Amino acid sequence: MTTSSNSGTPETTTHFGYKTVKESEKEKLVAEVFHSVAAKYDLMNDLMSFGVHRVWKKYTVELSGVRRGHSVLDIAGGSGDLTYAFSKRVGDQGRVVLADINDSMLKVGRDKLADRGVSGNLEVVQANAEHLPFADNEFDVITMAFGLRNVTHKEQALAEFYRVLKPGGRLLVLEFSKPKFEFLSKAYDLYSFTALPVMGKLVTNDSESYRYLAESIRKHPDQETLKGMMQTAGFRQTTYHNLTGGIVALHRGTKA
């Protein structure tokens, strides 16, 4: 989609939730959302998912195949839940990079991991998923939990993940998706567009960020579309697992 600037030059637009915005503005708008919610991010995750997000993340860790000595990138790692689990798995000889584009979220994650005693095998890097500051063939595993829907150019991010993975390395994308059943979809819509903004207002004094959350989920590609995007990026053995009736899906692919 394009619009014309004052100079008459077409400017590409994209979606920010249900709004149409200039591509050049989206990154800033998403950043403002996460600056706003960072301090209460973990609390809101527990409240919004009734704690089930911990089960989704545990399942992701189990399917990752991460073992001692591995190098792992947790992109859009936020407050560091997956990073913490991987740090224990890779051991002293391994490496885990907690990366996020948002410095407020990185601070929360870094402080949380320090409080839990994670240090020796941890790196914290501010990074944009579309332009990763890492070498080719650097990581055994890359995970991205609840971050891909906020990326403007998802195809570019997937290409970057493929580039920095080692041959045979695995990508796991945990993200909200499309419920499999009509009754569940309707109930989920009702909850998302009524309860979430109210909850956000009460806990963080910010209802609009959680309205964006609900809208961004609806704009995210469905399970089959995302699987196809991963295959286009070069990933093989690409599969997905629906969790909680498809409210969340875990996509997994391997670099050839």
Closest CA to 142 of 97, 94, 184, 107: 97
pLDDT reading at 81 higher than 50? yes
Closest CA to 124 of 192, 176, 73: 73
Q: Where are the domains of the chain?
A: 38-179+215-254
Which helix (H) or strand (E) is 204 found in, with range?
Answer: helix 196-204
79 belongs to an annotated ligand binding site: yes
Tokens in use for 17?
């939730």
Query: Which letter, b or e, does each residue of 118-140 get, where b requires 16 or more Cβ atoms within 10 Å of its Cβ?
Result: beebbebeebbbbebebeeebbb
128 belongs to an annotated ligand binding site: yes
The pLDDT score that the predictor gives to residue 35 is 78
Mean per-residue pLDDT over the chain, rounded: 91
Q: What is the pLDDT of residues 232-243, one digit of tens each?
A: 999 999 999 999
pLDDT reading at 2 higher than 60? no
Distance CA 203, CA 201 (A): 6
Q: Which fold has domain 38-179+215-254?
A: Rossmann fold (3.40.50)
Q: Rounded to two decimals, what is the model's pTM?
A: 0.89
Section 129-144 average pLDDT: 98
Section 11-16 average pLDDT: 83
* Amino acid, single-letter form, for residue 33: V
Q: What is the pLDDT of residues 173-189, one digit of tens each?
A: 999 999 999 999 999 89
pLDDT reading at 1 higher than 60? no
The pLDDT score that the predictor gives to residue 23 is 87
End-to-end CA distance of the chain: 33
Confidence band, pLDDT 50/70/90 cuts, at residue 136: very high
Tokens in use for 65?
């195949």
